[in-house]
Structure 1
Amino acid sequence: MAFQQIPLNNSKLLALWVNETEAIAYNHKSKSLTALEPLNVSLLLSIDEGLEKARIVEQLVNESNLDESVVLAAYEKMQAVFSGSKSKRAYKDGQYPEIHKAPRNARTDSLIIQVGKTVFAIECDNPYLTKQLDTLFQPINVQTAKQPDFILTIRATDPEISADNLSNGAPRECVLLANDIVVENVPTMSHLVPVLIDRLQILAYQNTDYHMVFHGAALSRYDDNECKTILLPGVSGAGKSTLAAELNRQGFQLHSDEIIVFDKRFNISTIQLPIAIKSGSWPIMSQHYPALHLSDEWLRVDGRRLKYVWPTSFAQSDAGENRTVYIVCPYYDAQQPANKQLLITTDVLGIMTQGGYQLGHELSAQSSKQLIDFFDQLPSWSIHYDSSDRALAFVEEICQR
């Protein structure tokens, strides 16, 4: 059953949508969504009617047989949801500063690459690092007369150090500039590429008219004029990138292994960048991606070791009307029994936002309802798996439903 909006006396403060088992409230002041349990819905409706606190609590204690302390705690929570506080952040706060600064002319020796519709010029004075970047980004290296949208400059912070003496393993700090704005301080050259790729993928979508973005991977497979798209949301370390690489090997084409970008029609944009494979997956992934053996090793700031491989193919950003989208929330755990479980809409929204998200607009009641309706109609599952083969089997079962 689809979510229906419940009329409220205080509709300028709140919007409420419910179905048979779930409820979601939107606060106009804080511009936020809250999933509600049945007790919380009853409390919210009673507060909306203007009933006194003592009467509300007494009535619900009698009706529910819950302890008064439980109802009181829930009442305070709903009072906070009902009143809300004005949001201190706007969606534009998440935009990178270089978005609003026009680039200068790029150097003639710049590496020119294109990610989506965005053109980047990468400037680097270190020959060793320049060669590594040339090799890594060769699949998206372009020759174009178009002025780059962004110029990314890699500069050593110690002017006394000769560029020729810098190497990938050398513990030399550097900075990353975007359109001549210092945007990242990088601890060592070994940390540079993960920082650079993160910047590339975010600028690639912030430079478009995007609708919303979530942390996760997205892939599509085209079968007899039908497109089946798998979204793999979740927090870092859940196994999304490795599973995305496995699915790519099985015929799914990659949109991105790090971000899920929706436009205003909920089409999924493609960000053409390599897949990050963490060190724990190198042995098994090297069997399927031989180039991984020869790939350079890089470090995230948190110490995780990465190598990058290019997918066998990228997906189209717009697959037309014949697209079926599935949400699969992966959890790798070799110590637990493998299983899959159907998810409800509020669970999906929680998982999608838990890993991080960004909006291309201010959240409103109308856009909230669009978001709820979109995710409500998607088949959504969590899968717990102990091997790649088990995960691939789960995904195939879900796609055949």
Structure 2
Amino acid sequence: MPSDTAELSRPADGPGPSPGVSLHLLDDGAVLFDAASRQLFGLNTAAAYIWCCLEERLAAAEIARRLQQAFGFRASEADAHVAAMLRRWQALGLALPAAEPLRAAAAGRPRRRYRLLDTAFELAAVPAGFETALADLLGPLAAGPAGPEALAVELRETATGYALAAEGRVVLACGERCEVVPMVKGGLVQLALERCAGISALHAAGLGAGGRALLLPGLSGSGKSTLTAALLAAGMTLLGDDTLVLSEAGRARPLPFALCLKPGAWRLLADRFPGLAALPVHRRPDGKRVRFLPPPAPPGPRAGLPVGWIVFPRRVEVGEAALLPLSRAEALARLLGESYSLGDGLDARKVERLVGWIAAVPCFELRLAGLDDAVARLLELTS
């Protein structure tokens, strides 16, 4: 870990691409591929030009000067465009900020120990003012002194915003205070998954019911976090509201941060969680406003639970909630479309394990119109 006055290593002074992010030119634009998340990001011509300058480790001011010359922007427009793109890419973990001294941590600030999957963390929250929000986010991950050696993680203020650093490198960075808590969550997930064994990381919520796991896979906006919160209020235990790891033994391993809830969920959950409206509002890298709701009970076991049910939520406009059987072949195809493989990637051995695993798991699609009806159907299913 660097000292308080050390700089994070960078090959040059300017900002640069994060490891594993590559540019691929296409027609008059380009796409970025992030190997860690297996996501593609489209770029227009100007953004692709900025990225090429980023690969040369040019300072932001020099990138803006070149953009102005190449595209005929006014100086103020070029400065604003470059600054906006760098903030967005850094928030998404696609780019690292320019090398600069990190401001000194407050002396004597206590480190708290957390455990996520196979990795223990010790986090120094700096500057002051983030302790309560981070305690809400990370409370379910709290761990005692026993266990593996802890990875030191620093939340530091920089000249351009904030950075989460570990092992002498910036993991993620952001520009504003309201972005810090989502950044910390994203950075810790990234670090934990880098060190985790298993078959796959699933884009799914998970809950414990009767010693088994209920999986709710789905993309952002499918309603899985809102449904997860309502099921917690009904007595289930939290495994995670966004990402889970499927172990080699076929168990769903938890990543049990506080639940990330967008504005559409706040009203729906107000009766179940009266304190939700008083929680601070944060901003995710995608620009969405969110609140982090601490779960009402301790999370499920760190080793995970055997999967008892897989239910894919699907929003519908009208009608009662309907729980429809889904073929296991269709369920596996959907699940793999919302996951990415750990370690060396997906191979024939892992596919065989997945097929054998899902063959014993009942799979459904939940057509979700009203929250109360959906909760009732899932409580009946898992009882």
- Give me the TM-score of the superposition, normalised by structure 2: 0.65
CA 1:188–1:344 in 2, change beyond 3 Å: closer, same or farther? same
Distance 1:91 1:271, change over 3 A: closer
Alpha-carbon distance in 1 for matches of 2:349, 2:266: 45
The reply on whether 1:315 has 2:315 as its aligned counterpart is no
- Residues 119-155 of structure 1 deviation map (CA, whole Å, 9 limit, x = unaligned): 2222343212245334544554456377853222223
Q: 1 CA distance for matches of 2:37 and 2:363?
A: 30
CA distance in 2, matches of 1:280, 1:336: 19
In the alignment, does 2:336 pair up with 1:353? Answer: yes
Unaligned runs of 5+ in 2: 1-32, 40-92, 94-105
| Counterpart mapping for 1:80-229 below 5 A | 108-116=108-116, 117-134=118-135, 136-138=137-139, 140-142=141-143, 144=145, 149-158=150-159, 173-222=161-210, 227-229=211-213
Q: Matches of 1:361 and 1:181 in 2, distance apart?
A: 23
Q: Mean Cα displacement is larger for which, 264-273 or 113-122? A: 113-122
**TM-aligned CA distance change 1:297 to 1:139, over 3 Å:** same
Q: Distance in 2 between matches of 1:195 and 1:220?
A: 27
CA distance in 1, matches of 2:172, 2:154: 11
Work out the CA distance in 2 between the residues paired with 1:146 and 1:317.
12
SS in 2 for 1:286: coil
Please give the per-residue CA displacement for 1:190-241, whole angstroms capped at 9, x wherever unaligned: 111112112223433443332321111111112xxxx332110111110111
CA distance in 2, matches of 1:213, 1:175: 25
- 1:365 corresponds to: 348
Greater CA deviation, 202-211 or 232-241?
202-211
Q: Is the 8 A contact 1:229 1:325 kept in 2?
A: yes
Map 1:386-401 to 2 at 5 A. Answer: 386-399=369-382
What is the deviation of 1:277?
1.2
Aligned mate of 1:257, from 236, 241, 256: 241
Distance 1:319 1:92 in 2: 22
C-alpha contact (below 8 Å) 2:260/2:292 kept by paired residues: yes
The separation in 2 between residues aligned to 1:143 and 1:317, in whole angstroms, is: 13
TM-score calculated relative to the size of structure 1: 0.63
CA contact (8 A) 1:217 1:244 kept: yes
CA contact under 8 A between 1:292 and 1:309: conserved in structure 2?
yes
Match of 1:55 in 2: none
Mark the CA change 1:135 to 1:327 in structure 2 (over 3 Å): closer, same or farther: closer
Q: Give the SS at the match of 2:253.
A: coil
Q: Which amino acid aligns with 2:317?
A: A
Q: Which stretches in structure 1 are left out of the alignment for 5+ residues?
A: 1-87, 97-105, 159-171
Structure 1 Cα separation of the partners of residues 190 and 311 of structure 2: 23
RMSD: 3.2
Q: Is the 8 A contact 1:115 1:273 kept in 2?
A: no
The separation in 1 between residues aligned to 2:34 and 2:292, in whole angstroms, is 34
Mark the CA change 1:245 to 1:149 in structure 2 (over 3 Å): closer, same or farther. same
Does structure 2 conserve the Cα–Cα contact (< 8 Å) formed by 1:111 and 1:141? no
Aligned-partner residue type, residue 261 of structure 1 = V
> Residue type of the partner of 1:111?
R
The answer to whether the 8 Å contact 1:236/1:355 transfers is no
The Cα of 1:315 is off from its aligned counterpart by: 1.4
Q: Is the 8 A contact 1:213 1:260 kept in 2?
A: yes
Secondary structure at 1:119 match in 2: strand
- Contact conserved, 1:233 with 1:328, CA < 8 A, in 2? yes
Amino acid at match of 2:163: V
Partner letter of residue 196 of structure 1?
Answer: V
Alignment of 1:53-68 (within 5 A): none
Q: Is residue 115–residue 140 contact of structure 1 (8 Å, CA) maintained in 2?
A: yes
User: Is the 2:250–2:307 Cα contact (8 Å) retained in structure 1?
Assistant: no
Instruction: State how 1:269-348 maps to structure 2 within 5 Å.
Output: 269-313=253-297, 314-318=299-303, 325-335=308-318, 338-348=321-331
Q: CA deviation at 1:295?
A: 1.5
- Does residue 376 of structure 1 match 2:359? yes
Give the match for residue 74 of structure 2. none
Q: How many residues align?
A: 285
Structure having the higher Rg: 1
Paired residue secondary structure (1:327): strand
3-state SS of 1:261 partner:
strand
Q: 8 Å contact 2:266–2:276 — kept in the other structure?
A: yes
Amino acid of the structure 1 residue aligned with 2:277: H
Secondary structure (helix, strand or coil) at the match of 1:288 reads: coil
Counterparts of 1:330 and 1:242, CA distance in 2:
11
Query: What SS class does the counterpart of residue 204 from structure 1 fall into?
Result: helix
Contact map agreement 2:172 2:187 (CA 8 A) in 1: no
